[in-house]
């Protein structure tokens, strides 16, 4: 945990927006419920609202998101609220915010706004001195490519030192993602086999069974490669592939992850299959001739001593058969086929499977002999279900950590740049997106990408 001094106020820009309604207000409620928030909460937006409007939005948002609302807790949250209405381009907005903060000198500023406004708000804060002794929480995406990420970082660093910058990715606040790191380094039996000598390949699937859900305009500016693979999935790869931290502390974890990103071999067009589901171009905000990918499959190599030669296959997409996040680690075959039934089998003898969504599971796949005189077997799983209904939501955990100054679950500058370096070339140098039918696992070309290391492991989600 961090020994930093906690912030004495929480300011969030974009207080009247969709992210605030869906995620921030319910998370702030959870923080109050758990005794982790008792400082002023100042919303800033340009909506011609007043404090009463913001309080009503907070109550509505919490009531919609929480099954059994404690009205006393909700009242305490509303009692912490302040509101500043103003144009981010108007210096008077930041002067008003400074007066609203009064004698609070260590605020955490959270930019729950479009990236195009980051520079404007950061410069506005700096102009009135609200960057001094303050923290800044920047919502992803951190740029659209390597060049824009560097430009954004230069603006942020012009007003805030690196140890006061918190680049938030809600994916890293998920309990299941944290468990990847814990499981790897809390169990000694993994280390001897967690390398190129014993692992044949790794597959990671992040699938959604729905489309762009009315956000066609946003998706036109992002696409699956930027929106999911370069950040969420690369973070999963880093936790699985990193070396053991040299000491207990977030900087050691950040260093280990950054080394994985730096060792990623830059992708070429031959390592990428892009797809677009039928009907995407009919979505509001989508160009009639759009080539934006709603599906992406990637073959990735990590040129390190531990992982040299091991292919990592990542795929994500909209309108796939299920919503699921799963990691599938394939171990190499036994060196000799001692039993006849093993000869006809595919390479799927032993594997480790991490299910992250919809439920949380860790499973070990192994061959087990079936009863009888013959040496015949079947594939079985040794499974542990780790899901808990009481798990805190990612934004609740991350915003609380930012206020406390704990950077463990946030992304650092060198990791952001190194991750963009791995994909930068194929953001523009790629084949056209291939049409695929909704409800399928994407274009057939993705099967050819994985080739002999396949087939893809399709998560088997049982209907409730």
pLDDT above 50 for 343: yes
- How confident is the model at residue 86, as a pLDDT? 96
As a whole number, mean pLDDT of residues 443-451 equals 96
Highest mean pLDDT among 243-247, 276-280, 356-360: 276-280
Measured CA distances, 332 to 202, 238, 348 (Å)? 11, 21, 8
Provide mean pLDDT across the span 101-113.
Answer: 93
Q: Residue 83 has what pLDDT?
A: 97
Residue 362, beta-bridge partner list: 354, 384
User: What pLDDT, on a 0 to 100 scale, did the predictor assign at position 31?
Assistant: 95
> What is the Cα–Cα distance from 384 to 187, expressed in whole angstroms?
15
**148-191 residue pLDDT tens:** 889 989 999 999 999 999 988 777 767 777 788 888 888 999 99
* pTM, entire model: 0.89
Mean pLDDT of the chain: 90
Residue pair 352/457 in contact by the 8 Å Cβ criterion: no
Residue 156 near residue 138, CB atoms below 8 Å = yes
Give 22's contacts (C-beta < 8 A, 6+ positions apart): 61, 65
> pLDDT-derived band of residue 90, with 50, 70 and 90 as boundaries?
very high
**CATH code reported for the domain at 9-139:** 3.40.50.720
Q: Which of 44, 77, 35, 36 is nearest to 60 (CA)?
A: 77
First to last CA, the chain: 38
Helices within 310-370 (DSSP H only): 340-343
Q: For residue 346, name the pLDDT band (cuts at 50, 70, 90).
A: low
Say if residues 216 and 283 touch (Cβ distance below 8 Å): yes
**Cβ neighbours of residue 275 under 8 Å, at least 6 residues apart?**
293, 294, 295, 296, 297, 317, 433, 434, 435, 436, 442, 443, 445, 446
Question: What backbone torsions phi and psi does residue 311 show, to the nearest 5 degrees?
Answer: -80, 140
Angle between helices 118-127 and 91-101 (to 10 degrees): 60
Say yes or no to pLDDT of 347 above 70.
no
* SS3 sequence of 371-417: CCCCCCEEEEEEEEECCCCCCCCHHHHHHHHHHHCCCCCCECHHHHH
* Cβ pair 265, 407 in contact under 8 A: no
Give me the active site residues, please: 232
pLDDT digits (tens, 9 = 90+) for 57-87: 999 999 999 989 999 999 999 999 999 999 9
Lowest average pLDDT, out of 178-187, 265-274, 310-319, goes to 178-187
- 63-67 contacts at long range (C-beta below 8 A, 24 or more positions apart): 65/22, 65/25, 65/26, 66/26, 66/29
CB burial string 34-62: b at 16+ within 10 A, e below: eebbebbbbbbbbeebeeebbbebbbebb
Q: What are the strands, taking DSSP E only, across 86-233?
A: 107-111, 135-139, 165-168, 199-207
List pLDDT tens digits, range 348-407: 678 999 998 888 889 998 877 778 777 777 778 888 877 666 567 788 888 999 999 988
Residue 36 vs residues 12, 29, 76, 77: alpha-carbon distances, Å: 17, 10, 12, 11
Say if CB 362 and CB 353 are below 8 A apart.
yes
CA-derived radius of gyration, the chain: 24
Does 267 have pLDDT greater than 80? yes
Mean pLDDT, to the nearest integer, of 246-252?
Answer: 75
Q: What pLDDT score does 36 carry?
A: 92
* Spatial separation of the C-alpha atoms in residues 263 and 76, rounded to whole Å: 48
**Biggest CA-to-CA distance, the chain:** 85
Percent pLDDT > 70 in the chain is 94
Find tokens 């997409």 and name the residue: 317
Distance (Å, whole) CA 293 – CA 226: 10
- Greater confidence (295 vs 333) lies with 295
Number of H helices, E strands in the chain: 16, 15
Query: How many percent of the chain have pLDDT more than 90?
Result: 66
CA distances to 105, 121, 149, 168, 411 from 156, in Å: 19, 10, 11, 14, 14
CATH 3.30.360.10 fits 172-453, yes or no: yes
**C-alpha dihedral, 221 to 225 to 229 to 234, nearest 10°:** -100
Beta bridge partners, 107, equal 9
pLDDT of residue 344: 56
Strand partners, 352: 329, 364
Backbone angles phi, psi at 196, to 5 degrees: -65, -20
What integer is the mean pLDDT of 104-117? Answer: 92
What integer pLDDT is reported at residue 176 of this predicted model?
77
What is the C-alpha to C-alpha distance for residues 150 and 341, in angstroms, rounded to an integer? 55
**Residue intervals in the chain for CATH 3.40.50.720:** 9-139
Res 96 pLDDT > 90:
yes
- Domain span(s) for CATH 3.30.360.10 in the chain: 172-453
pLDDT at residue 252, rounded to an integer: 80
For tokens 């990420």, name the residue: 149
Cβ-contact 9, 104 below 8 angstroms: yes
């Amino acid at each position: 945990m961090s020994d930093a001094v906690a912030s004495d106020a929480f300011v969030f820009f974009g207080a009247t927006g969709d992210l605030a309604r869906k995620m921030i207000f319910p998370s702030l409620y959870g923080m109050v419920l758990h005794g982790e928030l008792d400082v002023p909460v100042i919303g800033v937006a340009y909506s011609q609202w007043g404090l009463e409007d913001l309080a009503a939005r907070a109550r509505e948002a919490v009531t919609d998101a929480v099954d059994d609302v404690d009205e006393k807790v909700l009242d305490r949250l509303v009692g912490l609220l302040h509101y500043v209405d103003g144009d981010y381009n108007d210096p008077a907005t930041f002067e008003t915010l400074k007066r609203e903060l009064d004698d609070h000198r260590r605020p955490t500023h959270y930019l729950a706004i479009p990236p195009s406004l980051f520079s404007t708000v950061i410069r506005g804060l700096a102009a009135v001195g609200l960057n001094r002794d303050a923290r800044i929480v920047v919502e992803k995406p951190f740029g659209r490519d390597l060049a824009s990420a560097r430009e954004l970082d230069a603006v942020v660093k012009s007003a805030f030192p690196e140890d006061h910058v918190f680049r938030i990715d809600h994916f890293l606040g998920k309990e299941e993602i944290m468990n990847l790191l814990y499981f790897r380094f809390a169990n000694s039996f993994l280390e001897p086999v967690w390398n190129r000598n014993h692992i044949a390949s790794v597959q990671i699937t992040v699938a959604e069974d729905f489309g762009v859900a009315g956000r066609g305009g946003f998706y036109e500016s992002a696409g699956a490669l930027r929106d999911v693979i370069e950040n969420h999935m690369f973070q999963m790869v880093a936790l699985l592939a990193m070396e053991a931290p040299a000491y207990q502390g977030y900087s050691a974890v950040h260093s280990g992850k950054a080394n994985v990103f730096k060792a990623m071999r830059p992708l070429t067009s031959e390592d990428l299959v892009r797809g677009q589901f039928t009907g995407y171009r009919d979505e509001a905000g989508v160009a009639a001739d759009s080539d934006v990918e709603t599906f992406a499959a990637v073959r990735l190599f990590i040129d390190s001593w531990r992982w040299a030669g091991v292919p990592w296959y990542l795929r994500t997409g909209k309108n796939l058969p299920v919503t699921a996040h799963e990691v599938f680690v394939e171990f190499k075959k036994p060196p000799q086929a001692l039993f006849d039934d093993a000869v006809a089998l595919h390479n799927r003898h032993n594997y480790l499977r991490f299910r992250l969504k919809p439920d949380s599971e860790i499973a070990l796949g192994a061959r087990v002999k079936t009863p009888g005189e013959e040496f015949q077997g079947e594939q079985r799983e040794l499974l542990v279900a780790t899901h808990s209904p009481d798990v805190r939501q990612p934004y609740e955990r991350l915003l609380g950590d930012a206020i406390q100054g704990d950077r463990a679950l946030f992304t650092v500058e060198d990791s952001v740049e190194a991750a963009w370096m791995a994909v930068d070339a194929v953001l523009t140098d790629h084949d056209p997106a291939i049409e695929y039918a909704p409800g399928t696992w994407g274009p057939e070309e993705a099967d050819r990408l994985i080739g002999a290391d396949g087939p893809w492991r399709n998560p088997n989600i049982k209907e409730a």
